[in-house]
Structure formats: structure tokens, C-alpha cells
């Protein structure tokens, strides 16, 4: 289980800049091996976003927090 976790961490974006962590060649080989999931995406336009947002008046106001401790 730890081996699988460390294998997955090798390609973590936050760790790629560490010296000696992963070579550019290893990264490219791993990236080429990933499946193409572009067909799973859905294009959202600004018009669709505006129509799907709830009306502002339907949202109740946030409760006021007391200042006492």
C-alpha cells in the first residue's frame, strides 16, 4: 500500500521541482500513458452559467454573528 502511494506521489505537481525526484523523461512517459478523457468534458458557455445560477432573492441572508465571547 505504501509503495502504491509513493508511486502516485512521484507525479504530484507539488513535488516535481524537487531535485532528483523525477526526470523529465519519466514524467513524459507517464503522461503519454494516461488515457484521453477529453470526450468526458462538457463545454459550458456564459449564457448557460447565468441561466443555471439561482436567483439572488431566493438566497436567504446570512445570520449575524454575535460579537461577544
b/e burial code for range 32-41 (CB count within 10 A of at least 16 → b): eeeeeeeeee
Residue 56 has pLDDT above 60, yes or no: no
pLDDT number for residue 10: 80
- What Å distances lie between residue 11 and 17, 32, 35, 41, CA to CA? 11, 13, 15, 23
Residue 7 has pLDDT above 70, yes or no: yes
pLDDT number for residue 38: 87
State pLDDT tens for residues 15-49.
Answer: 878 888 888 888 888 889 889 998 888 888 887 56
C-alpha cell at 55: 436567483
CA-only gyration radius of the chain, Å: 23
Return the half-sphere exposure (C-beta side, CA atoms, 13 A cut-off) of residue 13. 0
Ordered by start, the domain boundaries in the chain are 1-34
Amino acid at each position: 500500500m505504501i509503495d502504491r502511494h509513493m508511486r502516485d506521489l512521484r507525479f504530484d505537481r507539488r513535488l516535481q521541482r524537487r531535485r532528483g525526484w523525477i526526470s523529465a523523461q519519466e514524467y513524459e512517459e507517464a503522461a503519454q500513458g494516461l488515457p484521453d478523457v477529453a470526450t468526458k468534458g462538457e463545454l459550458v458557455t456564459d449564457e448557460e452559467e447565468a441561466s443555471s445560477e439561482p436567483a439572488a432573492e431566493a438566497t436567504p441572508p446570512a445570520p449575524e454573528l454575535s460579537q461577544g465571547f
